[in-house]
Amino acid sequence: MSVRLIHTSDWQIGKVFRFVDNATMGLLQEARLRAVTRIGELAREHGAGHVLVAGDVYDMEALTPRSLSQPLERMRIFSAVHWHLLPGNHDPHRPNGLWDQLVRKGMPANVHIHVSAEPAMYDEESFALLPAPLFHRRALCDPTAYMDDVELPSGIMRIGLAHGTVSGFGSDDRDVPNFIAPDRPAQAGLSYLALGDWHGQKKINDRCWYSGTPETDAFDVIEGGQALLVEIDGQGAPPTVTPLATGHYNWLTLSERINSRADIDFLVEKLRGVSDDLGRALVHLSAEGALSLEDRQYFEEQIVDGVSPALCFMRVDDRCIFPRPTPEDLNRIDRGGFVRTAAEALKRKAEEGSDKDRVTAAEALQRLYVEHMKLQAGQR
């Protein structure tokens, strides 16, 4: 008997994006709900009867009833699909916590909450799901350890579902919270171990994968915005794992060197080409180089004020663009007197000062230039 399922995790419904305005945050939060619908569509398209959600369905324990119910109503629509929800470190199972609230309210018949470390049998597909729910945000015991000792009838596939980390990143594994032994599939005879916690999709071994979050939520997430189609042809058979795209927004990181107006024009074209739909792109731009004061203002006009509004969001780190004032720049500020003297002093500090002083002087010099340009424009 074969089984086909979708593996996903880290939906983090209700996540707060503090670095964007409220309107943009609403769009990003809605995208996380839209991903649930997309996963249901993929399950139906690929004939997957089960969706395993490996923890962090919700971003926090204290959410409004509306936020708790919204993903459930989207899952309810796909009545032929069984959805399996696991408490993670963001939404651990506590007495009278959110999971108990949902159970008391009444769950859709096709949505199953796994709050106990005990197998759930699915005889029609000849597999047992071995969940490892979390009861605290940080636990020092391996929540999957119990799987080694679970006895099941012969011929039943064993599929694990857990949330935690398989790497101590150089520290003693005993001190890593929610640590999961990477060889758990071999130790417990699992056909597959579906993991959550890392937001990027990652293969640990043939039988152990992180699905990653279905909707990328940070610029440092690698291989996010996906789920996994898992096909197992029978007990002992290796799983076939296929990544499936689920994300709506693209999170991009760009590093550019800017030293001239031509570089700025090139960057404008590059930014406008990052997506067929710029409204679905979030960009973190790091720029470095040296510009005249006139070209620095041009950078603001073309990049910050020009391209940025076309994107869903753009963060510009321009702290390493330093001024390279030309004589014409300084003459535009003032040809003499105390203002010109101040501009010359800022120019020297921006070129020769400490890192902190250079940044402060560069900002002050550019501000001085912009204000004088505004003043001159008003006098015309």
Give per-residue pLDDT as tens, 55-102. Answer: 999 999 989 999 999 999 999 999 999 999 999 999 999 999 999 999
Q: How many domains does the chain have?
A: 2
Shared domain check, 337 and 228: no
Shared domain check, 125 and 12: yes
The whole-number pLDDT of residue 358 equals: 75
Q: Is residue 210's pLDDT more than 50?
A: yes
Shared domain check, 222 and 189: yes
Give per-residue pLDDT as tens, 17-60. Answer: 999 999 999 999 999 999 999 999 999 999 999 999 999 999 99
Shared domain check, 215 and 285: no
User: Which residue, chain included where needed, has tokens 């999961």?
Assistant: 180
Write out the residue range of the structural domain in which residue 331 sits: 250-379
Nearest of 155, 167, 191, 201 to residue 54 by alpha carbon:
201
The whole-number pLDDT of residue 311 equals: 97
Shared domain check, 106 and 150: yes
The whole-number pLDDT of residue 378 equals: 59
Shared domain check, 284 and 238: no
Give per-residue pLDDT as tens, 169-182. Answer: 444 555 678 899 99
Q: Is residue 219's pLDDT more than 70?
A: yes
CB burial of residue 220 (10 Å; 0-12, 13-18, 19+) = exposed
Q: How confident is the model at residue 369 (pLDDT cuts 50, 70, 90)?
A: low
Q: Is residue 319's pLDDT more than 70?
A: yes
Beta-bridged to residue 176, according to DSSP, are: none
Model pTM score: 0.87
In sequence order, the 6+-apart residues with CB closer than 8 A to the CB of 92 are 61, 133, 134, 135, 136, 137
Give per-residue pLDDT as tens, 294-303. Answer: 899 999 999 9
Percent of the chain with pLDDT over 70: 91
Shared domain check, 77 and 93: yes
Shared domain check, 164 and 133: yes
Picking from 197, 214, 245, the residue at the C-terminal end of a domain is: 245
Picking from 176, 210, 245, the residue at the C-terminal end of a domain is: 245
d(CA 13, CA 16): 9
Shared domain check, 21 and 144: yes
The answer to which of 47-56, 249-258, 271-280, 321-330 has the lowest mean pLDDT is 321-330
Shared domain check, 200 and 85: yes
CATH of the domain at 120: 3.60.21.10
Give per-residue pLDDT as tens, 101-135. Answer: 999 999 999 999 999 999 999 988 899 999 999 99
Percent of the chain with pLDDT over 90: 73
Picking from 229, 245, 261, the residue at the C-terminal end of a domain is: 245
Mean pLDDT of 164-191: 80
The amino acid occupying position 134 is L
Shared domain check, 257 and 212: no
Q: Which helix (H) or strand (E) holds 46?
A: helix 22-46
Shared domain check, 140 and 226: yes
The whole-chain average pLDDT of the chain stands at 90
The whole-number pLDDT of residue 142 equals: 92
In sequence order, the 6+-apart residues with CB closer than 8 A to the CB of 360 are 349
